[in-house]
Amino acid sequence: MAASVRRTFGLLSSASVRLLRSHSERQFHLAAVRTMPAHDAEFNQAKDKLKTLSEDPGNEVKLKMYGLFKQATLGKCNAPKPGMWDMVGQAKWQSWNQLGDMSQDDAQKAYINIIESLVAEEKGSSTTEASGDGGKYTQIKVTREGKVFKILLNRPTKKNAINYEMYREWIDALKEASQDKSVTIAVVTGAGDYFCSGNDLANFANIKPSDIGKMALDAREILNEFVGTFIDFPKPLIGLINGPAVGISVTTLGLYDAVYASSRATFHTPFTVLGQSPEGCSSYMFPKLMGAAKASEVLLFNRKLTAPEAKERNLITSVIPESSFQQETDTMMQEFSKLPPKSMTTSKNLMREVERQKLHDVNAKECDLLVERWQSDECMNAIMAFFTRKSNL
């Protein structure tokens, strides 16, 4: 598919001069440039700036620039429409022809504007990289590294346990990543030695018995939204599992598009020990990925998986030695992020669409069941046991 797109549009390279295919077109262009209207100097500067862009602006923009360039240099389109099999020629002709009677001067200005905004956009995306998240997030850290949107779970002293604020910020960050045109993929990783220790059990502790019902309903809402945001995240989402992962940080792994784990990562879902039940669509995704018998071992009987075991059970994509994890994943993410973004998102959503509704239904059911589980004695006793464990040592 990518190759055929490249064959179709391969000649539409980023420099507009290169958009002019044939030798005669180029000659015609050079002659026309000599008799250009009002904004000659800026127009020529814009052409030079175009060559400095490091990112391909995409075929849509390049086609638009092609039409404007022809209009600016030659005036109204009077070339015959190319034959139906010449798809590239047709697209270029269409782009020029649709400008109708636009003056050469206006076409120059529009052409200059496009290039100015492309240059500004590129400058903007490298500035964001340096400035980070501007203090908007406190429990996570958000950075842009080129076209990679990175979410770092950032409570290392609590093993990156997810409190309410972190749930909220993680949802907001995913929404920000989905809307930010300068980023093409999003990654999630953890600060410190853990990827994440799951739900912050303090969310459930220190609650008056009369407030437990409300707490459970509030938690249901945020959990439902959190998992729903994963289901609907439109761009490739990649998990970089730097260390042990527990609870919901494991159950949501089936909703990532790829998961790379350090060799020291482990995967643990101790739900029944805690009197709880699975979430993150794992009640559906784990049996699908691992087979029912292996999923039950993990979700019912608390079997903690090593990274190679998680790979063998299709929960993760691959295992990378701890010593080179950071460097290898950085390089890989940069490479992924430079792939054609529209092709990545349409391909991802093609796969997701098949069972998007199913995943939302599973999510809703899991959340409903947890409302009951969180209020159970089994759950409350397990959480009390966790927080009193040190005083019992």
Q: Which residue is nearest to ligand COA (CB)?
A: 247
> H helices within the chain, ranges in order?
2-9, 16-19, 23-34, 40-52, 59-74, 87-97, 104-131, 164-179, 212-232, 248-251, 282-290, 292-299, 307-312, 325-337, 341-353, 356-374, 377-387
Task: Judge contact between 234 and 180, C-beta under 8 A.
Answer: no
Nearer to ligand COA, 14 or 282 (CB): 282
Q: From the CB of 290, what's the least distance to ligand COA, in Å?
A: 19
Q: From the CB of 192, what's the least distance to ligand COA, in Å?
A: 10
Nearer to ligand COA, 61 or 369 (CB): 369
Q: From the CB of 379, what's the least distance to ligand COA, in Å?
A: 10
Take residue 37 and report the two structure tokens written for it. Answer: 């209207």
By CB under 6 A, name the binding residues for ligand COA.
158-159, 161, 197-202, 246-247, 270, 274, 276, 386
Bridge partners, residue 141, by sequence: 152
Angle at CA of residue 281, ends 278 and 282, nearest 5°: 55
Bridge partners, residue 145, by sequence: 148
Nearest to 255 by CA among 140, 348, 379, 127: 348
Q: From the CB of 167, what's the least distance to ligand COA, in Å?
A: 13
Helix 87-97 to helix 59-74 angle (10° resolution) is 60
Q: From the CB of 200, what's the least distance to ligand COA, in Å?
A: 4
Take residue 181 and report the two structure tokens written for it. Answer: 């045109």
Q: From the CB of 361, what's the least distance to ligand COA, in Å?
A: 22
Nearer to ligand COA, 65 or 223 (CB): 223
Nearest to 262 by CA among 187, 198, 322: 322
DSSP code, position 13: -
Nearer to ligand COA, 161 or 223 (CB): 161
Nearer to ligand COA, 236 or 247 (CB): 247
For residue 200, the one-letter residue type is D
50 alpha carbon, distance to own chain's centre: 28
Q: From the CB of 376, what's the least distance to ligand COA, in Å?
A: 14
Angle at CA of residue 157, ends 154 and 163, nearest 5°: 60
Q: From the CB of 231, what's the least distance to ligand COA, in Å?
A: 20
Nearer to ligand COA, 38 or 205 (CB): 205
Nearer to ligand COA, 20 or 153 (CB): 153
Nearer to ligand COA, 67 or 278 (CB): 278
Q: Got the DSSP string for 112-179? A: HHHHHHHHHHHHHHHHHHHHTTTT--SSEEEEEETTEEEEEE--GGGTT-B-HHHHHHHHHHHHHHHH
